[in-house]
């Protein structure tokens, strides 16, 4: 099976799977910053299932666990509007049916664009020797540019993964808040055209 098709199938199966059993997964909440965000100010994002890159991470569904925890943190923070899992699932079905040869990144960006998101959160999870490493990326849907990347490590226990995910989201939220505060780029000035002397009449 081509790698892109396998990736899409992996994401789809994870999204359609039975909801995450451990109640502790809902505990990956963002620390409150005291800030409130109007609905119009919330950035719409799609959080994809993280790709497990080791056998232990695959067998324990660490990728789905991390995406669930990040989704909970993003929603509870009030900073983001998060695309629902069922919508992402439907879009993945459409991609799997209609397109072939997509890379991991291009497939993820297509899903984000189709869902109306301005950015996607994706990444990978590795587990070895009782330790877990989570790599996360915040990617602009329109340009495909990685706006932010972070990594967190910790014990492979549920509490260890929860703590690592909280640290990642805290850094991501700080980046997003800083980006919101940046003034928009200034419009090009027409001063030169307005003040330029009139052209001399033909001699």
Is 26 contained in some domain?
Answer: no
Q: What mean pLDDT is reported for the chain?
A: 78
For the chain, what is the radius of gyration of the CA atoms? Answer: 21
92: closest CA among 6, 3, 2, 1?
6
User: When comparing pLDDT for 71 and 28, which is higher?
Assistant: 71
User: Cα 13 to the chain's mean position, in Å?
Assistant: 19
**Domain extent for 102:** 3-17+42-182
* Contact predicate 30/169, CB 8 Å: yes
Which pLDDT does position 85 carry in this prediction? 82
Q: Looking at residue 100, which CATH number applies to its domain?
A: 3.40.50.10610
Is 151 contained in some domain?
Answer: yes
The tens digit of pLDDT for each residue in 102-119 reads 777 787 888 889 889 999
Is 143 contained in some domain?
Answer: yes
State the pLDDT confidence band at 188, using cuts at 50, 70 and 90: low
The burial class, CB within 10 Å (0-12 / 13-18 / 19+), for 104 is middle
The burial class, CB within 10 Å (0-12 / 13-18 / 19+), for 86 is exposed
Is 120 contained in some domain?
Answer: yes
How far is it, in rounded angstroms, from Cα 200 to Cα 177? 53
The tens digit of pLDDT for each residue in 68-98 reads 999 999 999 999 999 988 888 788 777 776 6
Is 189 contained in some domain?
Answer: no
User: When comparing pLDDT for 29 and 163, which is higher?
Assistant: 163
Is 49 contained in some domain?
Answer: yes
User: Does the pLDDT at position 147 exceed 50?
Assistant: yes
Is 191 contained in some domain?
Answer: no
User: Does the pLDDT at position 136 exceed 80?
Assistant: yes
- Tell me how many domains the chain contains: 1
State the pLDDT confidence band at 139, using cuts at 50, 70 and 90: very high
Is 193 contained in some domain?
Answer: no
Give CA separation, 159 vs 55, 71, 172, 201, in Å: 20, 17, 20, 80
pTM, two decimal places = 0.70
């Amino acid at each position: 099976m081509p790698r892109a098709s396998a990736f899409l199938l992996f994401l789809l199966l994870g999204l359609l799977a039975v909801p995450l059993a451990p109640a502790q997964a809902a505990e990956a909440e963002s620390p409150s910053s005291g800030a409130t965000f109007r609905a119009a100010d919330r950035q719409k994002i799609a959080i994809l299932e993280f790709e497990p890159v080791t056998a232990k991470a695959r067998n324990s569904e660490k990728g789905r666990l991390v995406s669930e925890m990040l989704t909970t943190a993003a929603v509870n923070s009030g900073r983001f509007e998060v695309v629902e899992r069922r919508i992402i699932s439907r879009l993945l079905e459409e991609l799997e049916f209609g397109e072939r040869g997509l890379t991991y990144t291009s497939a993820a960006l297509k899903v984000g664009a189709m869902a109306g998101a301005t950015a996607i959160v994706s990444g990978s999870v590795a587990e070895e020797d009782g330790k877990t490493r989570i790599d996360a990326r915040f990617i602009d849907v329109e340009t495909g540019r990685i706006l932010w990347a972070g990594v967190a490590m910790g014990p492979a226990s549920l509490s260890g993964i929860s703590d690592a995910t909280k640290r990642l989201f805290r850094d991501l939220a700080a980046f997003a808040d800083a980006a919101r505060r940046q003034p928009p780029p200034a419009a090009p000035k027409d001063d030169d055209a307005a003040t330029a002397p009139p052209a001399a009449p033909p001699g």
